[in-house]
Amino acid sequence: MQKHTKIYLNHFGLGDQDIIFCEYSYIKYGAMIRAGSTHHIIYRSHGGTDDIINLMALSSDVHNKAHQEQISKSEFQEVHLEFMNNNNPY
pLDDT tens digits, residue range 14-31? 998 999 999 999 999 999
What's the pLDDT score for residue 39? 97
The model's confidence at residue 1, banded by pLDDT at 50, 70 and 90, is: confident
Evaluate whether residue 69 is within a structural domain.
yes
pLDDT band at 60 (very low <50, low <70, confident <90, very high): very high
Cβ–Cβ under 8 Å, residues 22 and 59: yes
What distances in angstroms separate CA 43 from CA 6, 49, 51, 67, one per listed residue?
Answer: 17, 8, 12, 10
Residue 90 lies in a domain: no
Number of neighbouring beta carbons within 10 Å of residue 10: 11
In this predicted structure, the answer to whether residue 87 has a pLDDT above a threshold of 90 is: no
Q: What does the pLDDT read at residue 90? A: 85
Note down the domain range covering 17.
3-84
In a domain, 78, yes or no: yes
Tell me how many domains the chain contains.
1
For residues 76 and 57, is the Cβ–Cβ distance under 8 A? no
